């Protein structure tokens, strides 16, 4: 069993990296720092708590006695279990703003809960991911985001190493492989226009040794690459009770994985009938788990391919929703995508 890491000491100087650059520190403001922290510009809050009160990582709020120089030195060359953030992903000004924001927040006395908690009887790779390295605090208990990325390019361990040790360049290279307007499930850059921010920094082999990384990869690979299916249900042009169903394989042409035997189920509300459909693969209305579902089947959906269907009902169905799954590549978890009409009450993507 691994020791659980709940705090990381921020020392006065970076390990092996020297002091911060000479010159006056930028003047930070709490308002700007909160925007960097809270508006999707970084993923810091996943480890350090919504209000910097702590979680898997230490509290950063008032009382932590953090200066710009200390924080900058640590972020550029951390000594603990977190990646390094170069200037391209987190500028000196943004660091100063973050420090001002943390100082404005109420001091933490108890700390917050972990965003991702270690399941009982977790296998070794999952233990390393969640409790030792903290990867799961951003990527979830089953590492869904990296498993999407794996399927996008049919990634092996060499791919995974590049994604971890040279993340800020490797992820941009993978994004660049997508054709314009290609369907994407994994998120793109975050932050203000022009920043093109990557939310995760770069690990070194000292902070995350390759043998540990291989154990994380092997566990992820055993769970299975997670197909980035993009399923959209929208009112068809002209309105009425006809709806358009679009199913896309969000992997990269020439690189990604096929989705085989894709099943799409649309729940049909009680008292409503399906009167017409278009598109190849409609199998009729069936009973599943006490619900009537209109089922569409796609034998093979190639990387970047999109298939479109329409479904017409006997009466408008504003709460229409459903789910999609695939048989291959086989997965042990997260192998379903849920969708619904915009504005309807239903479930988000799994």
Residues 97 and 19 occupy one common structural domain? yes
284, 295 in Cβ contact below 8 A? yes
The answer to whether residue 346 sits within a structural domain is: no
Considering 199, 225, 251, which residue would you say is the last residue of a domain? 225
Residue 26: strand, helix, or coil = coil
Which range of 20-34, 57-71, 126-140 scores highest in mean pLDDT? It is 126-140
pLDDT of residue 13: 34
| Mean pLDDT score across all residues of the chain | 88
Cβ–Cβ contacts within 10 Å for residue 27, how many? 10
Q: How confident is the model at residue 5 (pLDDT cuts 50, 70, 90)?
A: very low
Residues 17 and 43 occupy one common structural domain? yes
Considering 225, 243, 269, which residue would you say is the last residue of a domain? 225
pTM of the model: 0.87
Residues 17 and 60 occupy one common structural domain? yes
Residues 63 and 110 occupy one common structural domain? yes
The answer to whether residue 15 sits within a structural domain is: yes
Residues 27 and 137 occupy one common structural domain? yes
Residues 144 and 251 occupy one common structural domain? no
- The residue ranking higher by pLDDT, 6 or 130, is 130
Alpha helices in 111-267, H assignment, sequence order? 124-127, 136-139, 144-153, 157-165, 167-176, 210-223
Contact partners, residue 149, CB within 8 Å, separation at least 6: 155, 163, 171, 174, 186
How many residues are listed for the chain in this entry? 350
CB neighbour burial string for 199-209, b if at least 16 within 10 angstroms, e if fewer: bbbbbeeebbe
pLDDT of residue 121: 96
First-to-last alpha carbon distance for the chain, in angstroms, is 30
> The CATH number of the domain where 233 resides is what?
2.60.40.1170
d(CA 82, CA 36): 18
Residues 134 and 250 occupy one common structural domain? no
Contact partners, residue 241, CB within 8 Å, separation at least 6: 312, 313, 314, 315, 316, 317
Of 69, 60, 67, 52, nearest to 14 by C-alpha is 69
Residues 167 and 237 occupy one common structural domain? no
Of 49, 50, 48, 39, nearest to 71 by C-alpha is 48
**CA 314 to chain centroid:** 38
Residues 88 and 219 occupy one common structural domain? yes
- The residue ranking higher by pLDDT, 246 or 65, is 246
Domain extent for 267: 229-340
Residues 249 and 151 occupy one common structural domain? no
Residues 96 and 237 occupy one common structural domain? no
Residues 236 and 145 occupy one common structural domain? no
The answer to whether residue 171 sits within a structural domain is: yes
pLDDT of residue 17: 36
The answer to whether residue 266 sits within a structural domain is: yes
Q: How many independent structural domains does the chain possess? A: 2
């Amino acid at each position: 069993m691994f020791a659980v890491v709940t705090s990381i000491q921020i020392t006065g100087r970076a390990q092996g990296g020297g002091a911060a650059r000479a010159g006056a520190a930028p003047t930070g403001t709490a308002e700007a720092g909160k925007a960097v922290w809270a508006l999707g510009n970084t993923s810091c809050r996943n480890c350090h708590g919504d209000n910097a009160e702590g979680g898997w990582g230490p509290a950063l709020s008032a009382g932590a006695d953090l200066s710009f120089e200390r924080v900058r030195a640590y972020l550029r060359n951390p000594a603990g279990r977190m990646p390094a953030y170069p200037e391209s992903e987190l500028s000196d000004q943004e660091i100063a703003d973050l420090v001002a924001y943390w100082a404005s927040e109420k001091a933490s006395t108890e700390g917050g809960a972990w965003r991702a908690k270690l399941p009982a009887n977790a296998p070794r790779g999952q233990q390393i991911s969640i409790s030792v390295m903290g990867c799961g605090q951003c990527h979830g208990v089953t590492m869904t985001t990296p498993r999407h990325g794996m399927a996008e390019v049919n990634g092996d361990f060499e791919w995974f190493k590049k994604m971890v040790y040279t993340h800020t360049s490797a992820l941009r290279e993978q994004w660049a492989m997508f054709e314009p307007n290609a369907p994407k499930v994994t998120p793109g850059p975050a932050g203000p226009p022009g920043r093109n921010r990557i939310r995760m920094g770069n690990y070194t082999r000292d902070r995350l040794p390759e043998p540990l990384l291989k154990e994380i990869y092997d566990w992820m690979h055993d769970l299975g690459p997670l197909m980035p299916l993009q399923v959209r249900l929208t009112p068809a042009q002209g309105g009425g009770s006809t709806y358009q169903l679009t199913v896309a394989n969000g992997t990269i042409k020439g690189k990604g994985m096929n989705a085989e035997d894709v099943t799409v189920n649309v729940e049909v509300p009680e008292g409503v009938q399906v009167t017409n459909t278009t598109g190849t693969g409609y199998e009729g209305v069936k009973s599943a788990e006490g619900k009537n579902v209109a089922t569409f089947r796609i034998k093979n959906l190639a990387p970047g391919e999109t298939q479109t269907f329409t479904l017409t009902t006997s009466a408008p169905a504003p709460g229409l929703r459903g789910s999609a799954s695939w048989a291959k590549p086989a997965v042990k978890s997260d192998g379903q995508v849920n969708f619904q009409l915009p504005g309807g009450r239903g479930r988000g993507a799994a």
